[in-house]
Amino acid sequence: MQTIANDPVMDVFAKLDLRTVALLLDVDGTIIDIGPSPTEVQVSEALLASLKNLFDLTDGAVALVSGRPVSDIDRLFAPLRLPAIGGHGAEMRLNDSQIFYWAKPLPQDLRQRLADAASFAPGIVVEDKNYSLALHYRNAPAQAERIRRHIASCRTAFPGEPTELLLGKALFEIKRPGINKGDSIRKLMAHPPFSGRVPVFIGDDITDESVFEVLPDIGGKGFSVSRRFPGLTGIFKNPAQVRTALRTLADNGQVRP
């Protein structure tokens, strides 16, 4: 049964045993608020402190799971360099000496043609991730259908390049098929310090569905932010509540005998 976002979800999360769990955290819309554009987001010192404490208390079993490239994740959360899954699963970094790549970049010509959508109207933001390209239309919602048609035309113009369209919150993203966060989390959980622990994932968007789908198979627990998915342990109401839950969990772990 799903727990509605209120005190109960905080209580359930606060009781997680940091000696036995692995924390897998989506970024945008989950632990940080979605900004006007991918570059206009804030990572507070308090969140950095919580993540550092949780990393130490779990013996390193904390990973950031994002559609952003790992290099962008590192930029946002500097000076932390946590284990990370980037590009919706296209790349995985266990530590500085173990980086895995599961997809090849999209051709530059295709990415440039897709990026031409920015000329349709002010407010369309292009996010080139190399493995994929995202078109954000939060500030130009009337352009959604035109952008969708443009993407279809671009994909038709490159028939030899396998791609798929990923839908998100006011964005369309074109990426390589067969790459998703769920499969990459399966791979991550096979490596120390994650192996042998209970995966606990928090996500917020359609792009996180693949993770929620694999959690039952790997004995995991799923929490979401404001959105219902099958089999959740709890639902947080917003990223601010998630940040509070992470801080509380870190504080509890530090005093546990």
Which residues are catalytically annotated?
A: 26
Cα separation, 36 vs 50, whole angstroms = 25
H/E/C letters for each residue in 49-79?
A: HHHHHHHHHCCCCEEEECCCCHHHHHHHHCC
Cβ-Cβ contacts under 8 Å for 249 (sequence gap 6 or more): 13, 14, 16, 18, 54
Tokens of 220: 């995991």
Cα separation, 112 vs 253, whole angstroms = 48
Cα separation, 224 vs 210, whole angstroms = 13
